[in-house]
Amino acid sequence: MGAESWAGIGPAIASLFFLYPMVKNYIPPQLRDYVAVVFQKVLFFIRPYTDITIQEYRGERMKRDELYTAAQAYLSSTCSSRAGKLKAELGRDSDTPLVTIGDNEKVPDSFKGVKVWWYAGARSPKSQTISFYPGEEESKYYCLTFHKDHRNLVEGEYLKHVLRQGRNVTLQRRQRRLFTNSPSRHGYKSSVWSHVAFEHPATFDTVAMDPEKKREIIDDLVTFREGKEYYKQIGKAWKRGYLLYGPPGTGKSTMIAAIANFLEYDVYDLELTAVKTNTELRKIFIETTGKSIIVIEDIDCSLDLTGKRKEKKKEKDDEEKEMKLPGMEERDDNSKVTLSGLLNFIDGLWSACGGERIVIFTTNHLEKLDPALIRRGRMDMHIELSYCTFEAFKVLAKNYLGVENHDLFETIQTLLCEVDITPADVAEGLILKKSRNKDVGACLKNLIRMIEVAKEEAKKKAEEEEAAKQKEEKPKIEEQLATTV
């Protein structure tokens, strides 16, 4: 149809809109609905555009529609610069105001060469009664308008693009959270997780460890974050397991915080002793979200998951029966989470519910863990966090004192090669508590004194252990000599 034809149809459409309200009062009541339907069909065939309405709240009323939220975030990042009126609001899980197009504002957008228009509208309530449900007092919506010829593109690709981009904007703006699971309770409970804002300041720049090992971890995290299609291609759930092991004070919790800040993920700190059954463990996992880190710290202490567990439990039950007094009620306060239940949680069928999750175990005693729990494929990367090396010390010196070199560094390097000391202890030694002004030399001398004391204590302890060992072995040697004679 040419431009002249559309030029003639335009005034005709305008005339219909103008005349219909005037003549509808003269139409018999029994015919008004029929005429209204015919009028809408005529407009549908004449008007070359289609509208899609996205309501703020779903039919459940209490839940905000995710597509509406995504559209709001998308318009904020893409189209708000073209709007004459703007509005700002602060989301529940965000610490940054979202500025998007204002009510009754219309803005254009384009996708693959196709032009569309977004309109932010609001409908007044039908009744004047006060409602306790969101969306009843004022119904907000977005209206997406586009040419009929592009309906397949808009419905098939553009709305998915809006949803994907809107989710990314929301994730970038949100306040990340630290979750913990609550002990099992009877009665109504809205969620098994409670949370606080996650504000740990640790980054990979402040983590004290060998730079090459740090780079290896960062590269692995980047590969995981960008590997959605790869994991789908090889048929594996989009998750990865990390085992952090080493003596206390070597920075395992700090490493978890640095990973979370690097990936911008939420953290779920799972307390296994508060979980009573495998079924409850699965329910807890279902309520975690994507882009998250599930942490079980001190896995060797959380539950006795070795093969001797049943024997220990039987011995404990026998002891309790012997000590039980008349009238004493039996208690069932032991967790029944099994090793197989935990393994299914890590990499079984339930682990594929959702995606982009990292599972992290920490332990101070690697040798105590069941090999099935930490094999490759479950804990994909084993990261040893050891005693402080000179390279780790230089990171701490830069963080705490702002120096990268000093005359005393050589002395400290020699001492660190002679004694095992944790990064936490080194960091404590770099803090000179009696002086507000940071005297670099004084702080380093304080650290040297602390390491020398630790060296003497380690030497004394080793001598005591050697003496105890010789004392224990002396009777055995004498017995062997007597037998020989």
Verify that 287 and 413 share a domain, yes or no: no
Q: Do residues 256 and 351 share a domain?
A: yes
How many structural domains comprise the chain? Answer: 4
pLDDT of 213 above 90: yes
DSSP per-residue letters across 174-215: B--EEEEEPPP-SS--S-SEEEEE------TTT--S-HHHHH
Assess if residue 329 is contained within a domain.
Answer: no
Residue 318 included in any domain:
no
Domain match, 253 and 292 both: yes
Q: Is the pLDDT of residue 243 over 90?
A: yes
**Domain limits for position 443:** 390-484
- Give the lowest-confidence range in 26-35, 276-285, 354-363: 26-35
Residues 159 and 188 in one domain: no
Distance CA 247, CA 335 (A): 27
On whether residue 436 sits in a domain, the answer given is yes
Highest mean pLDDT among 117-126, 318-327, 354-363: 354-363
pTM for the complete prediction?
0.71
344 and 461 fall within a common domain: no
| Mean pLDDT (the chain, rounded) | 80
Is residue 369 located within the same domain as residue 435? no
Return the SS3 of 9: helix
Residue that is last in its domain, among 326, 354, 384: 384
Rounded alpha-carbon distances, angstroms, from residue 363 to 306, 307, 360, 366: 15, 18, 10, 6
Of residues 184 and 394, the one with the higher pLDDT is: 394
- 283 and 305 part of one domain: yes
Q: Are residues 232 and 154 in the same domain?
A: no
Q: Are residues 85 and 25 in the same domain?
A: no
Whether residue 326 lies inside any domain: the answer is no
Domain membership of residue 319 (yes or no) is no
Q: Are residues 31 and 11 in the same domain?
A: yes
What does the block give as tokens for 262? 């690097």
Is position 317 within any domain? no
Identify which of 113, 94, 100 has the alpha carbon closest to the alpha carbon of residue 68: 100
Within a domain: 406: yes
Task: Note whether 218 and 345 are same-domain residues.
Answer: yes
Q: Read off the CATH number of the domain in which 206 is found.
A: 3.40.50.300
Question: Is 372 within the bounds of a domain?
Answer: yes
Same structural domain, 203 and 162 = no
Least-confidence region, from 144-158, 163-177, 309-323, 358-372: 309-323
Full DSSP string of 58-107:
-TTSSSB-HHHHHHHHHHHHHTGGG-SSEEEE--TTBSSPEEEEPTTEEE
pLDDT at 421: 93
